[in-house]
Structure 1
């Protein structure tokens, strides 16, 4: 992997982690169009570094919110911050269980199944379209909503289902305020990313070679910077009801993927 590859992969990770277009789906499409050997083969370590970068970009964008949560938790009282943190924990349950018990089965879906990606992108497009048309409300995320949104996050582990698109759309369709939906969606994934990183680190399969540190650093910076831009942009888009543009994009790419799936 060279410098250009690291920059491109970093930008893709940073953008698609937050924009509702499915990073996993686009990677599978890229493999089908360019061939399995035309794209750089990402090492586990490089993948961990990129996910760490996007997790940090979320923390930077929501640094005030996260700091307020920590201060509220440390007060050891049943305040709004502790309630919100509990909702985050509830939302993590479905994805954590699916990832723990069905990790190997999920990995089998990431083997160039372009047809599946196409249909799932169309599902993403439908969710985004419905969410874009939802009326503005001031309703906060409830405990029940948290679990349902968590289920949508677990479903988004399928290639072609956008995690941010699925969770924000589900939250909005449940009647939650759009800005609160975006905030909850981005914060709920941070513990899962750090948990996955910790699991990979403890597996003992990661190794750093001196000649790779520069590439890792470049990929990290690309993902970190693009992640900050994408996260900030998505918050504004959700508030201004611009999700329909991404719905159209996902629908078109989904149709192309289905065509490719039948062709291949």
Structure 2
């Protein structure tokens, strides 16, 4: 892999990671255009670097929220921060399960399969449109059950082409959760998974 190829993939990751357009799907398309064979030998290193950059950016933006969650997690009192921290941990379980047991299989299934990736991108678009048009009141609070459902949406988004933020935020909206809280929860719940993927 050349420096230019690495930079191009980094730009793709940076531009698409925080938008509901599936960074993984666009990375697959970018790899196909650049030539998969030239990337295979350094693919694992590239993945770690891209995820590290994503984690650092997310941690910086949400540093106050993360600090409150960490403090709340070790608090004996039933504070909102402690409850939110437990919701984040619960939401990780479905994606962690899929990632541990099916990540390699899914990678092999989608590698170089642009038709499958594009189909998932279309599915993401349909989900976003459906959530946008749905008549919901956005008045419900986040609960443990809803956190797990959103976690299942995140697990499905392991498929390249399914936007993680798009899937989790859309699911939250369909569950009548406030949009601001939905976006905050979506980005905070992914940080432990990104750090785990780097390990």
- For 2:194, the equivalent position in structure 1 comes to 193
Q: 1:113 to 1:37 in 2, by over 3 A?
A: same
- For 2:124, the equivalent position in structure 1 comes to 124
Aligned mates of 1:30, 1:69 — CA distance in 2: 36
Do the aligned residues in 2 keep the contact of 1:91 with 1:146 (CA within 8 Å)? Answer: yes
- For 1:240, the equivalent position in structure 2 comes to none
Do the aligned residues in 1 keep the contact of 2:52 with 2:195 (CA within 8 Å)? Answer: yes
Post-superposition offset of 1:34: 5.1
Secondary structure in structure 1 of the residue aligned to 2:10 = helix
Q: TM-score, normalising length from structure 1?
A: 0.69
1:1-264 equivalence runs, <5 A: 1-33=1-33, 35-37=35-37, 42-134=42-134, 135=136, 137-198=138-199
Q: 1:7 to 1:41 in 2, by over 3 A?
A: same
Secondary structure in structure 2 of the residue aligned to 1:43 = helix
Q: 1:13 to 1:41 in 2, by over 3 A?
A: farther
Q: Which moved more, 1:104-113 or 1:145-154?
A: 104-113
Post-superposition offset of 1:40: 8.3
Post-superposition offset of 1:112: 1.4
Greater Rg by CA: 1
Q: TM-score, normalising length from structure 2?
A: 0.89
Extract unaligned runs of 5+ from structure 1. 199-264
Aligned length in residues: 198
Q: Which moved more, 1:111-120 or 1:91-100?
A: 111-120
Tell me: higher relative CO, structure 1 or 2? Use CA pairs within 8 A at least 6 residues apart.
Answer: 1
Aligned mates of 1:33, 1:194 — CA distance in 2: 28
Do the aligned residues in 1 keep the contact of 2:70 with 2:85 (CA within 8 Å)? Answer: no
Extract unaligned runs of 5+ from structure 2. none
Task: State the Cα deviation string for residues 110-131 of structure 1 (Å, max 9, x = none).
Answer: 3211221122111100111122
Aligned mates of 2:74, 2:138 — CA distance in 1: 31
- For 1:255, the equivalent position in structure 2 comes to none
Q: What value does the CA root-mean-square deviation take over the aligned residues?
A: 2.1
